[in-house]
A and B are shown apart, each in its own frame.
Chain A
Amino acid sequence: MATWRRSEIKAKLKLALITILVLTLFATLALTGCSGAPKIGWAGSLVHKYTRQVTEGDQQVDKEFVSLIVGTVDGKLVAYDLLNSRDTRWTTILSNTSTNAVMYSAPVLSDGYIYVGSYNGTVYKVNAHSGDKESSVILDSNIVGGVEVANDMVYVPTDEGVLYAYNADNLDKEWQYPATGTLDDKIWGTPVFDADSNMIYFGSFDKKLYALDATSGELEWAFETGGAIGGKPLVYGDNVYFGSFDRKFYAVDKMKGIKAWDEPFMAGDWFWTEAIVYDSTPDNGEDDGLIYVGSLDKNIYSLSAASGTLKNSFKTSASITARPLLAMQWGDDEIWGNDDDEPVIIVASSNGSVYGLRPTNLSTQEWNTLSFGQPIQSPMSVYETKAFVYGNSGKLAAINTHNGQEASIIAE
């Protein structure tokens, strides 16, 4: 009888094991993340300051508005009143379907309208005062990089490897690059327009930085690097500055497309985010500006814009994927301290630590590190002496630029 039981038990055990195997495989694959569209992203915020005529009593008067407009992680645009109550002024759900209009780049403001591209392949144009959706254009490709609005056009980078130029007014297509077909890889980097050269610059995962005539879309030049380019280039002076996944940061002549530095600057990991520049000659003791750029190697570097020489660096506690922010510590009507007459570089690392660093010496922290409590990958924005930080889980807070403390939590 005991032997019979053993046989039966073994057979049942085998069935159970197979069932467990199947269920485990299903569960594990499901838990590790399925394919398909992401449900949340990271976008960012912008400050919209404008004057509008309103009726007060029986008179038409000009009234000033200041709004903080945030692209939320779940696909909405939300405007907060920054002057008075910090209350929500309007909320616009971008997608008309059940799928979120996930955004990976900050919305852009131009002539009273907000333009933003979504991973669902749609470019939205929204009235910045009312939040009404004015128009949209649907592409056959995902959009990861941000749009650039300039020259009366909206430049849209796409996952399929095409840069589109639309009329900013009616969103009719003006041109596309390449005119036929696609590049060899995706365009996840946000394009940048330079009025001086009338060119639009963008990086691609095919390892090249492209410069196009902003009006016609004709290729002016392309500069090849050793890795994919995912960040937004910075145009400053005569050069275009950008980082690559080959861990190098480049400076290229914006007209000719040839390297401006003898050697690119080498970091320990990818460059994902765009650089910013601090130009306070001669206060910073440099002939030219200083370029600040964060890397996934956790460091923020300051480099000479002229030579690419490393000036100094500061190591944070995690990778840096959000663009650093340059902000004044005190307002014009506030009393300045002895050492507070220069701005502060605010850096957020992907684990949610926020740092305030002295621009001329990054190793000096202006204030103690703030623990934001959420990963930060969205670029920050600033209004007067408040920096607005948006976390990956939806927390939006205003931070005092002079002491790094949370002045208020706008949304959680």
Chain B
Amino acid sequence: MNLTIVLANFFGGSFGLAIIAITIIVRLAMFPITKKQLKSTKAMHEIQPKLKALQKKFGGDRQKMSAATMALYKEHGISPLGCVWPMLIQLPIWIALFQSIRQALAATPHDLMALSSHLYSWGVVNQNIPLESNFLWLNLATPDPYFILPILVGITMWVQQKMTAQPTDDPAQKKSNMMMQLMFPAMFAFITLQFPSGLGVYFVVSAIVGIIMQYFMMGWGGLVKSKPMPTYKQSRKQIEESVIDSKVEEYLSDEDEDEDEENGEGDEKSSYWGDKKVEQPPQNQGKRKGRKDGRIRSRRKNRR
């Protein structure tokens, strides 16, 4: 709060400009976390063809689909909860900023009284109290009477959420995304409607900075219509090239073995697509075959 007041002094007493400045500082300070989150989102975008292919492969088998999806996430270092942590980390910052805005603007004598106990003895701080609460059309200490700010908050937050949204075919994930895209902007717009508009200024600026960061790291993301999904053949080829050695394949090969075993073809090489045999790279062939044989032998032994 004291920093905000010093910044206000730097901007000629404008607390609105001080809020904008402190917002940018906070977003820059949190850039490493944001970067990690965006990388995760980007990776999610990139594995979409593979996810699509897996969906075609397993159809309605939810168990297998979920297992393969999780394996794919793990292989690409994606955490389904990755987008939640940055928001959780920001929560105390929002609360601290909300408190500092409310107290620094001191709309009521209670607030001003409380403010005095939080200030440093710097002359520049004491001489700037109370702060100028007018900024543009807003009184930063009170909610926006024209509802412009809540609308701006809703729009900018929606754009940011839409850009970040992770495309998915998982129903649970879809549900989460939908909730994130609609609920968060609505919630923040509602908060802006009820609380000092200085907090709304923070929300808008924070979202705009976030949009800019996301644009430079991963383009418009889910905001623009994504490229057409690859055809089935393209997807299959991609998976064969990049996922063949992954844990996904390992998990799936177990399932194929069971099927092969039932068909009496346990020792034949087969693709986990089930419809076509795929030649394995020579360096992996023996190792895979041996490992598979071992498992089959073990299972047969168990059955006996």
Contacts and interface: CB of A to CB of B under 8 A. Distances in A.
A25 interface: yes
Contact of B87 (A21, A29, A38): A21
B225 to A, nearest CB: 26
A138 B82 CA distance: 55
Contacts of A104: 109
A14 B130 contact: no
Interface stretch (A4-12, A48-56, A162-170, A280-288): A4-12
A21 B91 contact: yes
A227 B116 contact: no
A18 interface: yes
A15 B176 contact: yes
A318 to B, nearest CB: 10
B99 A21 contact: no
A21 B99 CA distance: 18
A17 interface: yes
A29 B191 contact: yes
Interface in B121-138: 121, 123, 126-127, 129-130
Given A10-B80, A17-B84, A4 B130 contact: no
Nearest to B95: A28
B69 interface: yes
Given A4-B63, A29-B95, A245-B126, A38 B110 contact: yes
Interface stretch (B151-159, B167-175, B273-281): B167-175
B66 A3 contact: yes
B32 to A, nearest CB: 21
Nearest to A350: B113
A18 B129 contact: no
B183 interface: yes
A11 B142 contact: no
Given A14-B84, A25-B187, A3 B109 contact: no
B117 A35 contact: no
B210 interface: no
B126 A3 contact: no
Contacts of B196: 35
B108 A321 contact: no
Contact of B172 (A12, A144, A245): A12
Nearest to B69: A7
A228 interface: yes
A22 B187 contact: yes
A21 B84 contact: yes
Nearest to A105: B109
Contact of A144 (B81, B109, B170, B251): B109
| Residue from the set A10, A34, A321 with the largest chain B CB neighbour count within 10 Å | A10
Given A10-B80, A11-B80, A17-B81, A35 B195 contact: yes
Given A4-B67, A205-B130, A32 B87 contact: no
A144 B280 CA distance: 83
A32 B99 contact: yes
A8 B70 CA distance: 10
B49 interface: no
Contacts of A188: 109
A335 interface: no
Interface string A291-307: 00000100000000000
Nearest to A119: B108
B148 interface: no
Interface in B103-121: 107-110, 112-113, 116-117, 121
Contact of A18 (B63, B98, B180): B180
Contacts of A207: 127
A38 B98 CA distance: 17
Nearest to A184: B132
Interface string A16-51: 011001101110110011110110010000000000
B80 A8 contact: no
Contacts of A270: 116, 126
A25 B195 contact: no
A319 B116 contact: yes
Contacts of B94: 25
Contact of A8 (B66, B71, B141): B66
Given A10-B81, A268-B121, A247 B126 contact: yes
Q: Which of A7, A13, A245 has the most CB of B within 10 A?
A: A7
B62 interface: yes
A1 interface: yes
Interface string A219-256: 00000001110100000000000000111000000000
B130 A186 contact: yes
Given A3-B71, A227-B126, A245-B127, 14 more contacts: A3-B251, A8-B66, A8-B172, A15-B172, A17-B84, A24-B91, A25-B94, A25-B187, A35-B107, A245-B129, A246-B123, A247-B126, A272-B113, A377-B113
Interface of B: 62-63, 66-67, 69-71, 80-81, 84, 87-88, 91, 94-95, 98-99, 102, 107-110, 112-113, 116-117, 121, 123, 126-127, 129-130, 141-143, 170, 172-173, 175-176, 179-180, 183-184, 187, 191, 194-196, 251
Interface of A: 1, 3-4, 6-8, 10-15, 17-18, 21-22, 24-26, 28-29, 32-35, 37-38, 41, 104, 119, 144, 185-186, 188, 205, 207, 226-228, 230, 245-247, 268-270, 272, 296, 319, 321, 350, 377
28 contacts: A4-B63, A6-B70, A11-B80, A11-B170, A14-B80, A18-B176, A21-B87, A22-B184, A25-B191, A26-B191, A29-B195, A32-B102, A34-B194, A35-B142, A35-B196, A37-B108, A104-B109, A144-B109, A188-B109, A226-B127, A228-B130, A230-B112, A245-B126, A245-B127, A247-B126, A272-B116, A321-B113, A350-B113
